[in-house]
Structure 1
Amino acid sequence: MVLKVCAGIVLYNPEIALLKKNISALSPQVEKVLLYNNGSANFREIKTEFSRYDGVEIVDGKENRGIAFALNQILFWAEKNGFPWVLTMDQDSVCADNMIAEYSKYSNSNEVALISPYVLNNGKTTLSELKAMELPNVTEINDPVKCITSACLTNVKIAKKLGTFNEKLFIDCVDIDLNCRVLEAGYKILRINTTYLIQQMGVGKTIPLFEKLEKLTHIDIFRRAKSAAVYPDIRLYYHSRNSRYIRKKYKIHGKQTTAWFILLYYIYFSIFYPSDRNRFKMWKAMIKGFSDYKIPMLWEKS
């Protein structure tokens, strides 16, 4: 089956060299690549560099209105240009060269809303380790946390039917929110284990203690903990606020959005973040996010 697919990348001050790798991996696999600029300070450089690329279109959003707004613009652009499927990508990710070919094997079902790859993030799992796992070719995802936006192939018709991305969230948990609605509506999310994404979440910091423990024991929790994604305080604010929104709104929201998991997650950050980070400001941002969930106007429809 030949899949008619476009790709969309949301840009916010991207590293040009890494974005080149991203686009080079994508372009041979899709018909069009849309670069949606979300208020980048280096937009002139982006435009100069990528305007000459065949099959690449650039849309300047002028200002940063949040990842959800940008993703919706990509979704609407895909629909307008006759693409039933759109691959959404982060600017700092690189996809495998067989991604769309593998996805196309599972895209002919009306029940499938989202298709994702196995994610190799922050060096927690290597490609050789993935191959050694001997996973089934496809896994049906029932935990909404397990499918991220980057390299997710989205059924445009279903996403629009379910209300598209929630722009009130701005950033963080935007993908989880849509995933929850997909699962509640009875549609399927698939993870294709025969392809992969190399993903950098935040600025990864290796934790030597957990790295050694993972090598000694091969216990999965140490693999997950051996690299911490280092986020700015504003991201911690949105994560705290939006994860609370998710667990209050949906019955099936995933273990990683529970209050206890989030608390332990933030304690982990407090211990292992770089020493120059101000812990007081970090916790102030997280507590404010938790509290701001209660503001009704944040969730009212525009």
Structure 2
Amino acid sequence: MRKPVLAVVVTFNPDLNALTRTLSILNGQQSDVLVVDNGSSNFVKIRAKLTTSTEVELLPLNANLGLGAAHNAGIRFARTKGYEYVLLMDQDSIPLDHMVQRLLEAHRAKSTHQKLSAVGVTYLNADNGSESFFVRFGWLKFQRHYCAERDSDGCVLADFLISSGSLISLATLEKVGEMDEGLFIDHVDTEWFLRARNLGYHAFGVCDAVMQHGLGEQTHRVTLGRRQRNVPQHKPFRYYYIFRNSVLLYRRAYASGVWKWNDLQRLAMIAVMFGLLKSPRRANLTMMLRGFWHGIRGVTGPYSDA
């Protein structure tokens, strides 16, 4: 019997042991599993690994088309097969006990009395074990809201969620639309939630739905005022997409002014920390500036030197 949820796991050169673990856990919860491969160099090994399982379907894209395109391929697959929900997942995200069930319960509870865009997991950072927070837009900066503030449903209101671990109904996707494939990687989730929010939809983090997740290649502990924060560092090419796609979204009418102001502050912090202070400074700053310029020019899709 088909389960209500299709977990869409996007892969790109994954660690096969970690991937197998993630897929096995998802199969043991209330979800079927589809692996959408984004042109992995080790695809032959992925296919060989997955052909031993009758519980996982594989959809190869044969090239790296980006995160948005991979999510959309999974969403369309779910639609043709009659699933009620999609659960978007990264290859390096590890669900903990009852995660899918908790997300389903929260989605059904919240959607009975409001327009719900999605519910999402609470993260345990794989690097240091710290628990995540949920973000709302503030007039001074992004506001962090933790599970100590959970409501009677065990949820925390959020203005957007990280895509991995987000449960979205196919009915909502029909109304809000699919992911923006032109953004390629970064801000694919941000853009969709900004669009949904503009249409009156709300998102919630679910405190009892927990997943391990790594946010960057390296994490730095930074003191800002009285607080210490973990700031992920990425490879230089990612800063191209972060800056380009922020600028692209600033030009869109449904991106609220308060989000733009919050995001500008985030970009300034990234530019100072990784463009001026942390190596490789020159490569990081070059990609930031190129991304900023391409955003002004309206460039979309995968990175190009042009």
Unpaired segments ≥5 residues, structure 1: none
Q: For the structure 1 residues 117 and 255, does the alpha-carbon distance in structure 2 shift closer, same or farther, using more than 3 Å as the test? A: farther
Q: Which runs of 4+ in 1 moved over 6 A?
A: none
Give the alignment of 1:160-171 within 5 angstroms.
160-171=174-185
Deviation at 1:201, TM superposition (A): 1.6
Q: How many residues are paired up? A: 279
Spell out, residue by residue over 1:32-90, the C-alpha distance to the aligned partner (whole angstroms, 9 max, x if none): 10001101000011111112123100111100111100100001011111111010100
Amino acid at match of 2:193: N
1:179 pairs with 173, 178, 193, which one?
193
Are 2:270 and 1:268 equivalent residues in the alignment? no
Partner of 1:25: 25
1:121 pairs with 110, 117, 125, which one?
125
Taking the aligned partners of 2:85 and 2:92, their CA distance within structure 1 comes to 21
Secondary structure, aligned partner of 1:172:
coil
Taking the aligned partners of 1:291 and 1:29, their CA distance within structure 2 comes to 45
Spell out, residue by residue over 1:217-242, the C-alpha distance to the aligned partner (whole angstroms, 9 max, x if none): 9x5x41x23xx423222211011000
TM-score (norm 2): 0.83
Deviation at 1:247, TM superposition (A): 3.0
Taking the aligned partners of 2:65 and 2:195, their CA distance within structure 1 comes to 22
Cα RMSD (Å) of the superposition?
Answer: 2.7
Q: For the structure 1 residues 264 and 62, does the alpha-carbon distance in structure 2 shift closer, same or farther, using more than 3 Å as the test? A: same
Q: Which has the higher helix share?
A: 1
Identity %: 24
Unpaired segments ≥5 residues, structure 2: 134-145, 302-306
Are 2:155 and 1:138 equivalent residues in the alignment? yes
Greater mean alpha carbon deviation, residues 236-245 or residues 158-167: 158-167
Taking the aligned partners of 1:247 and 1:128, their CA distance within structure 2 comes to 26
Secondary structure, aligned partner of 2:292:
helix
Are 2:271 and 1:254 equivalent residues in the alignment? no
Spell out, residue by residue over 1:8-52, the C-alpha distance to the aligned partner (whole angstroms, 9 max, x if none): 111100011111221122111134100011010000111111121
Secondary structure, aligned partner of 1:69:
helix
TM-score (norm 1): 0.84
Secondary structure, aligned partner of 1:290:
helix
Spell out, residue by residue over 1:143-166, the C-alpha distance to the aligned partner (whole angstroms, 9 max, x if none): x3xx10101101122123222100
